[in-house]
Amino acid sequence: MMHLVLAEAEVELVPASISSHPAVRAHARRRGKKATEQLLDSSFHHSAMRKLPEAERRGRPDILHQCLLLALDSPLNRQGLLRVYVHTRNDEVIHVDPSTRIPRSYHRFVGLMEDLFKRKSIPPEKPLLRLEKKNLAKLLGDLSSDRTIIFIEEGHPTKWRDLFKQETVTVVVGCFPHGDFHFSWRELNCEPVCVDPEPLDASTIVARAIYAFEDSIGLWEKRFER
């Protein structure tokens, strides 16, 4: 089993401090939403975001969208051996049911996330997505794994084929465009791993980590019963 944690994902509602900016209000009006009920999106709110701290890495739901599509369509997930958790910059955790079908259209995905921030679980009766307040240390502590690996450029250089053994593993990937993790991963019992001399996109790390894990447990053979 792999627990995949998409950490410090840059998904948040428009902060109140920029909700009256003309670019934010115009976008909200076009979408028929209140300004603060919209997801912050650097493509649309760029000029308003200049006032925000860490503006250069915020408002990137597109990174999360790509990672979720890749993870949930993987053979590992289809085999019931993947659990996905999204941890956000504001210390919320989204529990993703393996049967969730994430909309392929980015605009529909944004609408779904906005609904989730409002209602906290979707659909309410038997939630596929559930949002709760929780920090990363608490989430990692709650997951029962043999190992926790954090993908990070300053980690130990490791070949993909040497990374996984047959085990239950938690894998942490930063779901943000630039910079380092905010949380102090050195204080937790994590193995820091670097897989390339260059920074790669979060989606590339997610796709390769899932494939490397599938390979390590012989998933191809299991699925073809060989």
Q: By CB under 6 A, name the binding residues for ligand SAM.
A: 151-153, 155, 173-174, 176-179, 194-196, 199-202, 205
In the bound state with ligand SAM, the residue whose beta carbon lies nearer, of 117 and 185, is 185
CB of 120 to ligand SAM, least distance (A): 27
Nearer CB in complex with ligand SAM: 4/81: 4
Residue 212 Cβ, how far from ligand SAM at the closest point, in Å? 12
Place of tokens 């289809």: 78
Pick from 87, 85, 115: which is nearest to 98 by CA? 85
**Nearest distance from C-beta of residue 157 to ligand SAM, angstroms:** 9
Give 110 or 173: the residue with its C-beta nearer to ligand SAM: 173
Residue nearest to ligand SAM (CB): 174
Least separation in angstroms between CB 98 and ligand SAM: 22
* Sign of the dihedral defined by the CA atoms of residues 149, 140, 6, 17, in that order: negative
Nearer Cβ to ligand SAM, position 119 or 182? 182
Sheet of 82-88, strand order: 121-122, 129-133, 92-96, 82-88, 2-9, 169-174, 147-157, 191-194
- 122 vs 104: CA distance, rounded Å: 17
C-alpha pair distances (Å), 133 with each of 71, 104, 152: 23, 27, 25
Q: What's the min distance (Å) between Cβ of 76 and ligand SAM? A: 18
Closest to ligand SAM by CB, 63 or 94: 63
Q: Which is nearer to ligand SAM, 98 or 155 (CB)?
A: 155
Closest distance of CB 6 from ligand SAM, Å: 9
